[in-house]
């Protein structure tokens, strides 16, 4: 047991998990948990981290304002995979180490994506609402088998989704800034432009990080390209899609519907959007399978032991 380092656990999910708490306390004796269950940011996050040598963070925003005021903090370990909340340049500038394991929750997220695809194709959310309101009729939906699925972002989650789509005999189109030629050839996948993917796909699903190159990557022009029968899925990051343009596109019939687990502002404030009969929303639960929580937590505990600054942090391995 390490009795020297002071550890701060910012994540509310990690802090309330008895297994992860026990395993961390077996490794470190001096731990501060976020037992208040507050979403920490800015001054409150800074106050929570002061006096600690290492920290486990989830969605807490670590910007230069926070990092520059924590000279004692040496290691930040990520509970989860997305790095968009961490100012990587500031981490380098202030000599802080990053513990991060890519793809640790990939199956949890890809399974949720599959669930979203199936429930939207079969019109299950609307059908459920009708049944619970006393309406009994057989809505006609569609099958996933044989459809064209467009995957934007072919990192850990995108690749895993391709794996679990195999039994459905879908045609898979991918768009990524990186080239995975051997993977594409092995899996008989077509890499194409974003426009062609949007134009040709029955289901479009996002699996990219949020950064300056991907922010609002799906807006009104992109939605206009999609088939009127197409479905848009976002279990990646809020801010990738212009939600106002999405609402208009659904209302005007430019696309058939959408299912989102993430929003630019959480919880989402646009009640018109989330109450549309062909829009389905969940509360950022992509990694919230019990197995994924343990895998992410254990990776975060292991990440506290990093002792060098990598040459660069690659957030593109989302």
- Element at 280 (helix H, strand E): strand 279-281
Per-residue pLDDT tens over the stretch 158-172:
999 999 999 999 999
Domain ranges of the chain: 2-104+289-310, 106-281
Return the pLDDT at 84: 84
Pairing of strands 148-152, 75-78: unpaired
Cis amide bond preceding 147, omega within 30: no
Per-residue pLDDT tens over the stretch 43-60:
999 999 999 999 999 989
The average pLDDT across 166-187 equals 95
CATH class of 2-104+289-310: alpha beta
Identified catalytic residue from 266, 272, 277, 291 = 266
Please indicate whether residue 186 is annotated as part of the active site.
no
Fold identical between 2-104+289-310 and 106-281? yes
Identified catalytic residue from 12, 52, 107, 237 = 237
* DSSP letter for each residue of 94-152: TT-EEE--TTTTHHHHHHHHHHHHHHHHTTHHHHHHHHHTT---------STT-EEEEE
CATH architecture of the domain with range 106-281: 3-Layer(aba) Sandwich (3.40)
* Count of residues in the chain: 318
Please indicate whether residue 237 is annotated as part of the active site.
yes
Return the pLDDT at 40: 95
- Tell which wins on pLDDT, 309 or 295: 295
Per-residue pLDDT tens over the stretch 58-97:
989 999 999 999 999 999 999 988 888 899 999 999 999 9
CA dihedral 282, 283, 287, 290 (to 10 degrees): -90
pTM above 0.85, yes or no: yes
Return the pLDDT at 309: 54
Please indicate whether residue 69 is annotated as part of the active site.
no
């Amino acid at each position: 047991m390490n009795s020297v380092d002071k550890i701060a656990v910012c994540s509310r999910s990690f802090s309330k998990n008895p297994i992860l708490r026990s395993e961390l306390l077996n490794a470190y004796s001096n731990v501060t948990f976020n037992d208040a269950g507050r979403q920490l940011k800015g001054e409150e996050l800074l106050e929570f981290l002061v006096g600690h040598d290492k920290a486990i963070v989830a969605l807490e925003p670590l910007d230069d304002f926070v990092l520059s005021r924590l000279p004692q903090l040496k290691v930040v370990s990520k509970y989860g995979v997305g790095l968009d909340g961490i100012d990587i340049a500031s981490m380098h500038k202030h000599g802080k180490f990053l513990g991060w394991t890519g793809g640790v929750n990939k199956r949890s997220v890809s399974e949720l994506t599959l669930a979203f695809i199936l429930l939207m194709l079969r019109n299950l959310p609307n059908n459920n609402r009708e049944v619970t309101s006393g309406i009994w009729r057989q809505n006609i939906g569609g099958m996933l088998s044989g459809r064209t699925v467009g995957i934007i972002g072919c990192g850990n989650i995108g690749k895993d989704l391709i794996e679990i789509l195999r039994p459905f005999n879908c045609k898979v189109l991918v768009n990524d800034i990186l080239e995975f030629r051997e993977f594409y050839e092995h899996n008989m996948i077509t890499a194409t432009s974003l426009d062609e993917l949007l134009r040709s796909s029955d289901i479009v699903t996002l699996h990219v990080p949020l950064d300056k190159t991907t922010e609002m990557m799906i807006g009104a022009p992109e939605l206009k390209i999609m088939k009127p029968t197409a479905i848009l899925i976002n279990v990646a990051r809020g801010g990738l899609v212009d939600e106002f343009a999405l609402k208009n596109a659904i209302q005007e019939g430019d696309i058939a519907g959408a299912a989102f687990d993430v929003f630019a502002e959480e919880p989402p404030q646009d009640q018109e959007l989330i109450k549309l009969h062909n829009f389905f929303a969940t509360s950022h639960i992509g990694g919230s399978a019990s197995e994924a929580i343990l895998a992410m937590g254990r990776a975060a505990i292991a990440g506290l032991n990093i002792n060098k600054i990598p040459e660069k942090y690659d957030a593109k391995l989302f």
